[in-house]
Amino acid sequence: MPNPRSRSNARALPPAVSAFVEATNGFDLERLVVAFADDALVNDQLQEYWGKEAIRGWAERDIIGERLTIAVTKIVRKHSNCIVTANVDGDFDKRGLPDPLVSTFYFTAHDRLIMQLIILRSRCDV
């Protein structure tokens, strides 16, 4: 049975997740929002955003507005879930944050759309 883990490889990402990463790194708000289902949920560091309107506000402020970039370091795929570990950078206040800042993005996709995204800062020191 193949190992569900793979190193950073854009072709290993499901289409919706790949669109999210590419839109984020390209600072493309419209493409980023289109990757989500109308009733999707984003939970970013324990703050919830339900539906495209709320997700658009979050993405405009916290992703595009902070010029966030995602450098994928690990991908794990299992059924409709894709777990992406990445080094995150951008124009946000980095005081007190580790370098590199590692986050884990827990995607659930269906019909080429993101249904749920949970983002947590990963601790490398444990």
User: In this structure, are residues 68 and 101 in contact, taking their beta carbons and an 8 Å threshold?
Assistant: no
Q: Walk me through the domains of the chain, giving residue ranges and CATH numbers.
A: 5-121 (3.10.450.50)
Question: CA 25 to CA 7: how far, in whole Å?
Answer: 18
pLDDT at 124: 63
pLDDT at 122: 82
Report the chain's terminal Cα–Cα distance, integer Å: 30
Beta-carbon neighbour count of residue 53 at 10 Å?
11
16: which 2 tokens? Answer: 């919706």
pLDDT at 123: 72
101-110 and 69-78 beta bridge pairing = unpaired
pLDDT mean across residues, the chain:
89
pLDDT at 5: 40
Question: Which pLDDT tens digit goes with each residue over 76-106?
Answer: 998 889 999 999 999 999 999 999 999 999 9
Which candidate, 64, 57, 53, 56, places its Cα nearest to that of 23?
64
